[in-house]
Amino acid sequence: MITALSGETSRLRATVDFVKEQDTATLLPLLLPGLDGPELRTLVERCAFSHAALLVFPPDEAALDATLADCGLVVDANPRPSVVVRRRLAERHGRSAADLDVGVLRPAVECLDGALRSVEVFALTVPPGSDLDTVAAHERERQHEAHVAFEVEAPDSLVLRGLCATFGRYGATPDGGGYNPHENGTVFYFTAPAEAKAGYRRMELYVPGDHSDVLAAHLDEHRVRQPAEALLRLLTGAWTTQALAAFARLEVADAMDEWRGVDVAELARDVGVLAPNLATLLRYLTMLGVVSEGRDGFRLTDTGRLLRADVEGSMRPLALMYGGPFYESFAALEHTVRTGQVAFEHRFGENHFDHFARDPELAELFDLSMAAGSRMFDPLPAHPVLTEANDGAVVVDIAGGNGELLSRILSAHPRLHGLLLERPHTVETARRLLGAAGHAARCTFRAGDFADVPAGGDVYVLSRVLHDWDDDRCREILRHCARAMPDTADLLVVERVLPADGSASLATAWDLHMMCNVGGRERRADHYARLFADAGLTLVGRVPLPLDGSVLHVRRTGPADTGTRVP
């Protein structure tokens, strides 16, 4: 034990000396050979050498304090949990993260250039006789967590992407990273090029705050460089769907707390399941960021909160739908690709509209799942067509589902009136929802189909309707709209639009879903423009919406058919 502790002290002392002797301008070219001139100056302006890190293995807190004191390091706080390193160790050694007591300290060091930097000390407690001895021996030899770090000041997404790209141009490759909620900081790990001369092979960019958008791209690039792992993650995607669906069906999220951890045994009793099996599910969901695990148990993350039934914008119905009927039909995707027959119809013997209409519970779930994606609608009530509409103008929501979108529009614009056209059983659901929202006096309801689009409205809305149908049926629907629209009327079409450049988009995923389960498709903007033109309509504008949605603004091309104004 004395030899092990003295070895830890010498390793830590060497790290302290390194921090004292280096500065940003001299260290970066050692890590990234060839970096000089304007790009070096830009990096020095954007980030600063902040610390060097080492993972040590004390048997207890007193031994850690003694090692720090021997190296002249003073700390005035207890170690904070290190989420990222704990997760990396768990993955590397096949351990449960809950069994790894990893803390982090950052004692300050006064450097030769007068700057105040720190030594980042990760400490994995390894009690005498612990089975973690093999983990400690492996980590001491390989030094996986030893790294040098640069902190980014006043970051934004553009700066972060630029820094990551510059590191890449000089041979550094992504090597993971993560977000630590305990200190509200994001880390980006890189492997330095083989010719680096600093004695460290790992580099870190530390960024205050949550930068999950840039981090996701960084982690994706890391996985792409490991094709076997990347493919294995893709192949297990079905497990993710069912894990989320099971979590939703068992109502686990509803029994959890966002702020307080809950013990697995207690949670298992509350939801009526087996504690060991629930623990396995929760560890998997921790890896997905749906829950987090701490010393006090598991708690919901912001993502997991969306699977509660009682929160605004709950996505629980989507989890049940995608893990239920649509999951079953996706098993016949091959059949759709080979024959052109819709997989849902092949599996259930009828189209999804008829299938859901015959089962009240499924019909309600479908309507709720459509409403669960309502974040796409958040900016829509601010569209100029609605904000500039005359007092008393009528908004006609065609196939408006349970009225979620129309309710938002009427709430935002008390001077407007609404008319919702839907199937008979759905109209009653919408009537209750809009009535509960206080809009009953300003809203009319009509049961019917697309041939019954009422004439004389001021604004018509087709939200996530056209993607359900092939081109011929879309033209027919749009012609019904065109015949009903006065010359001055506007049509707002809400859809996910396929990107023209092939860039990543939710629309591409939904294109596959629509083909497999509905018999419809997503389309590019120019495709929609042709469909509008065929119906005597013109695409005059497009505005992006959340969740990769778009609102397409459409007007009549020529004079309208004479029609009676909507009452």
pLDDT for 245-290, tens place per residue?
Answer: 999 999 999 999 777 889 999 999 999 999 999 999 998 898 788 8
Model confidence pTM above 0.75:
no
In this prediction, residue 363 has a pLDDT band, given cuts at 50, 70 and 90, of: confident
Per-residue confidence (pLDDT) for residue 44, from 0 to 100 = 92
**Distance between CA 307 and CA 290 in Å, rounded?**
9
The whole-number pLDDT of residue 153 equals: 80
Residues of the chain with CATH 1.10.10.10: 236-311
User: Average pLDDT in the 307-312 region?
Assistant: 90
Q: Give the largest CA-CA distance in the chain.
A: 96
CA nearest 53: which of 94, 105, 8? 105
Q: Give yes or no for a contact between 459 and 489, defined as CB atoms under 8 angstroms apart.
A: yes
| Residue 229, pLDDT score | 67
- Tell me the average pLDDT of the chain: 89
pLDDT at residue 3 above 50? no
pLDDT digits (tens, 9 = 90+) for 100-123: 889 999 999 999 988 999 999 999
What pLDDT is stored for residue 382 in this prediction? 94
pLDDT number for residue 442: 95
**pLDDT at residue 563 greater than cutoff 50:** no
Q: Is the pLDDT of residue 353 over 80?
A: yes
- pLDDT for 294 equals 79
Is-contact 300 253, C-beta < 8 A? yes
Q: Measuring CA to CA, how many Å separate 51 from each of 105, 149, 343?
A: 11, 5, 56
How buried is residue 31: exposed, middle or buried, by Cβ count under 10 Å (0-12/13-18/19+)?
Answer: buried
Q: What is the mean pLDDT of residues 372-391?
A: 88
Q: List, as own/partner pairs, every contact residues 236-241 make where C-beta atoms lie below 8 angstroms and the sequence separation is at least 24, other chains included.
A: 238/327, 239/284, 240/288, 241/322, 241/323, 241/327
For residue 513, the model assigns a pLDDT of 94
> Which tokens is 122 given?
């990760």
CATH topology of domain 236-311: Arc Repressor Mutant, subunit A (1.10.10)
Per-residue pLDDT for 142 more than 50? yes
Would you state the pLDDT for residue 550?
94
Q: What is the DSSP string of 392-408?
A: T-EEEEET-TTSHHHHH
- 53 close to 122: Cβ distance less than 8 angstroms: yes
For the segment 459-467, the average pLDDT, to the nearest whole number, is 96
Cβ atoms of 439 and 418 closer than 8 Å: yes
The fraction of the chain above a pLDDT of 90, given in percent, is 56
Burial of residue 3 (number of CB atoms within 10 Å: 0-12, 13-18, 19+): exposed
Separation between Cα atoms, residue 493 and residue 554, nearest integer Å: 8
Cβ atoms within 10 Å, residue 330: 19
Model confidence at 559, in pLDDT bands (50, 70, 90)?
low
Retrieve residue 140's tokens. Answer: 């001491």
Please, which pLDDT band fits residue 562 given cuts at 50, 70 and 90?
very low
Q: How many helices (H) and strands (E) does the chain have?
A: 25, 19
- Binned at pLDDT 50, 70 and 90, residue 75 comes out as confident
Q: What are the structure tokens assigned to 429, written together?
A: 């659901």
Query: Is it true that domain 2-230 has CATH number 3.10.180.10?
Result: yes
For residues 24 and 16, give the distance between their C-alpha atoms in angstroms, rounded to a whole number: 16
CATH architecture, domain defined by 375-556: 3-Layer(aba) Sandwich (3.40)
Q: Give pLDDT, residue 104.
A: 92
pLDDT band at residue 510 under the 50/70/90 scheme: very high
- d(CA 322, CA 314) in angstroms, rounded, equals 14
How many CA atoms are closer than 13 Å to the CA of 490, on its beta-carbon side? 19
The dihedrals phi and psi of 6, each to the nearest 5 degrees, come to -65, -35
Question: What is the token pair recorded at 326?
Answer: 């649509």
* Dist. CA 557–CA 487, nearest whole Å: 9
Of 138-142, 369-373, 546-550, the poorest mean pLDDT is in 369-373
At 74, phi and psi to the nearest 5? -115, 130
CA angle 565, 566, 567 (to 5 degrees): 110
Amino acid (1-letter code) at residue 15? T
Instruction: Indicate if the pLDDT at residue 87 is higher than 90.
Output: no
Tell me where in the chain the CATH 3.10.180.10 domain(s) lie.
Answer: 2-230
305 pLDDT band, cuts 50/70/90, is very high
236-265: burial string, b at 16+ Cβ within 10 Å, e else? eeeebeebbbbbbebbbbbbbeeeebbebe
Dihedral sign from CA coordinates of 91, 96, 100, 102: positive
Q: In 337-477, where do the E strands start and end?
A: 394-398, 417-422, 443-447, 459-463
| Cα end-to-end distance, the chain, whole Å | 88
Segment 150-157 mean pLDDT: 85
Tens of pLDDT, residue by residue over 491-500, are 999 999 999 8
In contact, 170 and 34? CB cutoff 8 Å = yes
- pLDDT interval class at 182 (50, 70, 90): confident
Most confident region among 181-185, 425-429, 511-515, 558-562 by mean pLDDT: 511-515
Cβ neighbours for 507, distance < 8 A, ≥ 6 positions apart: 496, 497, 498, 499, 522, 548
Say yes or no to pLDDT of 392 above 60.
yes
Q: Is 437 exposed, middle or buried (0-12, 13-18, 19+ CB in 10 A)?
A: middle
Q: How many CB atoms lie within 10 A of CB 415?
A: 11
Report the C-alpha gap between 64 and 4 in whole angstroms.
12
Q: How far apart are alpha carbons 445 and 252 in whole angstroms?
A: 37
pLDDT of 423: 86
Q: Once rounded to an integer, what is the mean pLDDT over residues 194-211?
A: 88
Q: What is the mean pLDDT of residues 231-254?
A: 91
pLDDT, residue 6, reads 60
Bridge partners of 174, per DSSP, are 190
Averaged over 149-162, what is the pLDDT?
Answer: 86
Which carries the bigger pLDDT value, residue 461 or residue 220?
Answer: 461
The catalytic residue positions are: 467
Specify the amino acid at residue 343.
A
pLDDT band at 195 (very low <50, low <70, confident <90, very high): confident
Q: Which DSSP string corresponds to 231-251?
A: HHHHHTHHHHHHHHHHHHHTT
Q: What is the identity of the amino acid at 535?
A: A
